[in-house]
Amino acid sequence: TSPFAWLRTRFYYLLIRLYFDQEFSIEEFTRGAKQAFSVVSKLLSQRKLDLLEELVSAEVLQVLKEKISLLPDSHRDALAADIDSIMYTTEGDVRIYYDDDGRKFVSILMCFWYLNGANLPDDVPSEAKVFQIVFGDENTKEKKHLLTANYEFQREFTEGAKPDWTITRIEHPRLLE
Q: Which strand (E) or helix (H) includes residue 98?
A: strand 86-98
The pLDDT score that the predictor gives to residue 16 is 96
The pLDDT score that the predictor gives to residue 117 is 83
- Three-state secondary structure readout of 27-51: HHHHHHHHHHHHHHHHHHHCCCHHH
| Assessment of whether the complete model's pTM goes beyond 0.75 | yes
Q: Chain-wide mean pLDDT for the chain?
A: 88
Closest CA to 5 of 90, 107, 87: 90
pLDDT digits (tens, 9 = 90+) for 18-72: 999 999 999 999 999 999 999 999 999 999 999 999 999 999 999 999 999 899 9
The model's confidence at residue 139, banded by pLDDT at 50, 70 and 90, is low
- Listed by start position, the domains of the chain span 3-112+148-171
Residue with the larger pLDDT of the pair 156 and 131 = 156
Is the torsion defined by CA of 1, 112, 155, 175 positive or negative?
positive
What is the C-alpha separation between 45 and 42, in angstroms, rounded?
Answer: 5
Q: Does residue 132 have a pLDDT over 60?
A: no
Q: Beta strands 86-98 and 132-135: pairing type?
A: unpaired
